[in-house]
Structure formats: structure tokens, C-alpha cells
Chains A and B, each alone.
Chain A
Amino acid sequence: MKKKNNILKIEHLSVTYGPIKAVKKVNLEVSQGEYVSLIGANGAGKTSLLKAILGIEKAEEGNILFLGEDISRKATDKIVSLGLCLIPEGHIIFSSMTVLENLQLGAYHNPSGFEENLQRVFTYFPILKKRSSQIAGTLSGGEQQMLSMGRALMSKPKLILVDEPSLGLAPKTVTEIFDILGELNREGYSILLAEQNAKKALESSHRCYVMKTGEVAITGFSSELIDDPQIRQAYLGGS
């Protein structure tokens, strides 16, 4: 077991939309260098949780400690500047701008390391180098997902939040994207991944939280959960 050195610590976090309680008193931790996954059915509250961490949705109650600092009441731009980033659900890109301009925008809080980060992003995603002057909206779905990931990496984050990177992509691309996430983690990036594809998520991560209607129902090591009959029944298609 790793030494307990939290990069992210969430305590009693709740998120509500009017009468809807999307996240209910969730506790969650990510250690330095750890790869943690978050699985759960549609509407379980995964996206709401990630958005709350980044300050996009307001935390109704609870604390979010990032590197020991409470960020739960901070504005998104401040949070990003501290070294957190979110790769959102459904490849959100600047579609009328070029691939390079998208990456430049990703470096908003880290302009000095631009060249170095750009080369690093290009080694992870060689396709982005080839397409760097292409208008981003004309990229394929998989390429757009890669651009969205590359743009997030341009800020040289300390913790990467990833929301359903496999959404709507062909199996081969999904594998490719998970390979890159694994590689990023081996290089030292801490990752918190929300994913519908429980099998992929459990195979790639160290630890996992299972969310059910806004609450953390089960948590444990991914290698153990993957053999848990209850989990197999509910999230891995029963087999």
C-alpha cells in the first residue's frame, strides 16, 4: 500500500439541482499518483461530482481539499490554475478553431511551458501533430476526444478528472484512449475517471468507487471488485 498522501480529499459533498439531489454526502480520496475510477449507472451523479470538484456546479455542502487547500468555494479559473483539469463528457472543443489554437487555449494558465507541453502532447497523440492546422470541428469523434485530452494536458495538471472518455467511440479507439490514460498515470499523473464502461474502468484503475443514486455504494481495490459477484452482476453484464 502507498503512503497516504492525498492529492484530493472530498468530505460530505452534496450537489443539488433544485429539488434533485444528484450527489449525497460523498466522501472520496485520491492519493498522489493514484488512478481512481468512479462507476455507476446513468444518472448516478458521476458527472455532477466531477463538475463540483472543478467548481462548475456549486457544492451544496461539504469540503473539497486539493493539495490540502479547500477549493469548494473557489471559481473554476482559480481551481484550474492550481493544477486541476476536467476532460469533459462528449468531447467539448472549440470547433471553429484549429487544433493548435485549441491546444494554445489549454495552456491559458501555463503559457511559459507551452513548447515543452505541446511536444509532450504530440508524443501522446501523434495524430494531433499531423492535424495541427486543421479546423477542430472537422476531426473525427475519436480525434476530438484526443484533442479534448490534449488540451487538458496543456495546463500541466496535477490531477486529471476524466468523464466518460469512451462515450460513442469504436472499441479500438476506446482501447487506445485507455492505454494513454494508463501511460499518463505511469508517468506520474493522478487520475480520477468517471466511466460507464465498468470493465475498462476496473481493469485500468487502482481503486474504484461505485456510485448509486448520488451515494457511494461500494468502494475498494479495482482488482478485488472486478471479481466481486455483486459487481459482476450489476455492472459487468452478469457473466
Chain B
Amino acid sequence: MEIFIAQLISGIALGSIYVLLVTGFNLMLLVAKIIQFAYPQIVVISMYTCWGVLQLTDNKFLVILAGITVSIILSILSEPIFRKITSTQGVDINASFIASMGMAMIIMDVMSHSINYGFPVAFPPEWIGGNLLSFGLITVSKGQLYALMGGIIAVLIFFYLLYRTNQGRFFRAIAENRYAACLVGIPIIKTSIFSYFIVGVLGGITAILFSMLIGSASPWLGEFVALKMLAVSIVAGLGNLKGGLFCGLILGILEAMAMGYISGSWSNAIAFVVMLVIVLIKPQGLFGSRI
């Protein structure tokens, strides 16, 4: 039972990270009409930023601010590049995939060449917090608990914004029917640029929670997470926000349970086998694609 509770906590925490990632990715897909494969890399570089600032100060507020700012800047900097290659007709999967993969590679190379000699960085104990509970080999850290609570709150707030506010409705309007959104007078480009900003904020929050949860970051973390993000969004149905919410959480819990009950080293293989089976049965994703 203790194992179950401990794994459930870390599973939901990990799951909410996936939800945040998939939601940001889907928002880019729906509003900006691009495949933003480099999004997790932006999250990782913002984790590195937090780590770097932590070397200089232990003012947590400054750390958080720096992480979020870097993520916003990177997200907005990518906008002019993507705007050049997006078509007005729909998502240009090929062009935006190549461009964002290029961005991801560049960010990864920057991290592996010039930060901490390319070695993974470990967050200091003040940041992750000590152990809260421990059952034999399994422990729950304060950081995991913060990530859990922060993740749930962030997901709730974000979905509230999307589904209950005017700005969220404008995003969903462009996502659903660009022509109709144009007819009611929504400024498409301005709203699309704003979505880069929002996704930047989301990426920064994700970075902070993720660093608390896993306590480290490495140059290759982003690519690894990007694969999962892509897989979850395809399994849920591309562009399906509610589907991403459900599948992201499930994947996190599934991985944590596999880690607790079977073997940590198999948790990725198990997750991908499950996703493979789902995609074979339902190619449009569990909840249906929205693009």
C-alpha cells in the first residue's frame, strides 16, 4: 500500500508535467498551426537557467522569474521563423517539424557544449527539499510534493483559462475554424503571437515543477521528453486538449507504477508498448484528432 501511494504521488506529479507539455504543444498546433517539437528543449533550457541562477542566489522568487522569462523569450523568438513557414490553410507538418527539430538540436548542442562541460546538472537540496516520507527504498521528496501540487494547480488554472475566459475562447475559435474566427474579427496573427507568449509562460512553469520533481537536468532530457510529449499527443488525438489532459496523467501514473512494481528500467518500454497498441487500434487517437 505504501508503495502504491508513493508511486501514485510521483505518477500524478510526472503526469501533470506531461499534461503541461502536451497542452503547450497542442496549443501551438491549434492556434499557431505548427508542430513545436522543440518545446521540451525550451523547458529544459529554462531548467538550466533555474540551475544557473541557483548558483548565484538562493532567492527562489528570482529563480522562478528567470526560468519563466527565458522560456517566454525563446518561445517568442521562434515565432518569426515559424510564421515564415506556416501556411494559412492548416498545419504544415513537414516544414514546421523540420524547423522545430533544428531548433531542438541547436538548443541541445548549446547545452552539451557550453553548460557545465556538457554534464548533467543537479539541483541543490534547498531546491528539491528533503525526504518527506520513506518506505524502504521508496521515498517521496518535498520537491515531488511541490511538483504534484504545483502541477495540479497549473493544469487547473490553465484549463480554466482555456475554457472559461474570453482569451481562451479566442484561442479555441482559431483552433476550430480559422475562417470563422477571421469573420468575427479576431486578429489572427496577433492572437497567434500571444499564444507563443502563453506557451512560454507555461513552459517556464513546467521547467520549475520538472526540476523540483526530478532534481536534475541534462542536455538530452529534452529530446527524451519530446518523444513522450509527441507520443501522448498522438495517442490522445493531435490537438485534442482534453484528451491530452487524460492521457498525460495516465502515462505518468503508468510509468510510476511500472517503476514501483516491475522495474524502473522497463518503465519507458512498457509505456511505449501500451501507446503503440493504442495507436494500432485507434490511429486517430483515443479522443480523436482535432487538426
CB < 8 Å: which of B172, B179, B184 contacts A108?
A: B184
Docked pose: A110 CA to B172 CA in angstroms: 19
In the complex formed, the residue of A with least CB distance to B290 is A96
Residues of A within 8 Å of B179, CB to CB, are 56, 88, 92
Docked pose: A109 CA to B186 CA in angstroms: 8
A:77-135 near B, CB below 8 Å:
77, 79-81, 85-86, 88, 92-97, 101, 104-106, 108-109, 111
In the complex formed, the residue of B with least CB distance to A103 is B184
Instruction: For the complex formed, measure the closest distance between the CB of B201 and the CB atoms of chain A, giving whole angstroms.
Output: 23
**Contact at B176–A80, with CB atoms within 8 Å?**
no
B56 within 8 A of A: no
**Contact at B180–A108, with CB atoms within 8 Å?**
no
Instruction: For the complex formed, measure the closest distance between the CB of B75 and the CB atoms of chain A, giving whole angstroms.
Output: 23
CB < 8 Å: which of B166, B181, B182, B185 contacts A109?
A: B185
**Contact at B169–A80, with CB atoms within 8 Å?**
no
**Contact at B180–A76, with CB atoms within 8 Å?**
no
Docked pose: A222 CA to B85 CA in angstroms: 48
Residues of B within 8 Å of A106, CB to CB, are 184
A:165-182 near B, CB below 8 Å:
none
**Contact at A88–B183, with CB atoms within 8 Å?**
yes
**Contact at B182–A108, with CB atoms within 8 Å?**
no
> A104-B169, A105-B169, A108-B170 are contacts. A95–B184 as well, Cβ < 8 Å?
no
User: Which positions in B face A, CB cutoff 8 Å?
Assistant: 166, 169-170, 172-173, 176-177, 179-188
Which secondary structure dominates chain B's binding surface? helix
Docked pose: A93 CA to B176 CA in angstroms: 9
20 contacts between A and B (CB under 8 A): A77-B187, A85-B183, A85-B185, A86-B183, A88-B183, A92-B180, A94-B172, A94-B176, A94-B177, A94-B180, A95-B177, A96-B176, A97-B176, A105-B170, A105-B173, A105-B184, A108-B170, A108-B184, A108-B185, A151-B184
A54 within 8 A of B: yes
User: Which positions in A face B, CB cutoff 8 Å?
Assistant: 54, 56, 75-77, 79-81, 85-86, 88, 92-97, 101, 104-106, 108-109, 111, 151-152, 155
**Contact at A76–B169, with CB atoms within 8 Å?**
no
Instruction: For the complex formed, measure the closest distance between the CB of A225 and the CB atoms of chain B, giving whole angstroms.
Output: 30
**Contact at A77–B185, with CB atoms within 8 Å?**
yes
**Contact at A155–B187, with CB atoms within 8 Å?**
no
In the complex formed, the residue of A with least CB distance to B173 is A105
Docked pose: A106 CA to B182 CA in angstroms: 11
Docked pose: A75 CA to B176 CA in angstroms: 21
CB < 8 Å: which of B177, B180, B185 contacts A80?
A: B185
Q: Which 8 pairs show the lowest CB-CB distances between chains A and B?
A: A80-B185, A77-B187, A77-B185, A92-B180, A109-B185, A105-B184, A108-B185, A108-B184
Residues of A within 8 Å of B185, CB to CB, are 76-77, 79-81, 85, 108-109, 155
